[in-house]
Amino acid sequence: MTSGLKTPSSYYMELIANFPPRPITTDVELQATQNRINHILDKNNITQDDRDYLNVLGTLVYDYEQKHSPLPVLKGIKLLLAFMAEDNIQKKDLVDIFKNESILDDILNGNRELTASQIQSLAELFHISATAFLN
């Protein structure tokens, strides 16, 4: 007998019996697992057993997504462009950081590098590390 492990409740065993957690190997299995997660999250009263089970399922989803569809790592100007598109930010909205749209155009076109103060201002604006804007 292994010591240190808590004996699972009958409810937890029911969760496992109804949808046994297994490594995800296909998109169909991924969708089924995500549907199961959503079903539990839609409950009004999520128990500790639910949270523990969701943790297991979430880990399986994360592992599959890391192997099959890792998010691209955006840095520098590509990251700035992504933020602008995602947040519907116009060039005129960034004039305080770049002094004028002409300088921003040069940076976005690769004709000029970001300065240290621009990088710091962008990091503060988007609440991320300044290193994300370094190539």
pTM over the 0.95 mark: no
| pLDDT of the residue at 4 | 67
pLDDT in single tens digits along all 135 residues of the chain:
456 678 899 999 999 999 999 999 999 999 999 999 999 999 989 999 999 999 999 999 999 998 987 767 899 999 999 999 999 999 999 999 999 999 999 999 999 999 999 999 999 999 999 999 997
CA gap 78, 29 in Å, rounded:
33
Q: Crossing angle for the helix pair 48-68 and 10-18, nearest 10 degrees?
A: 30
The answer to whether 61 touches 30, Cβ cutoff 8 Å, is yes
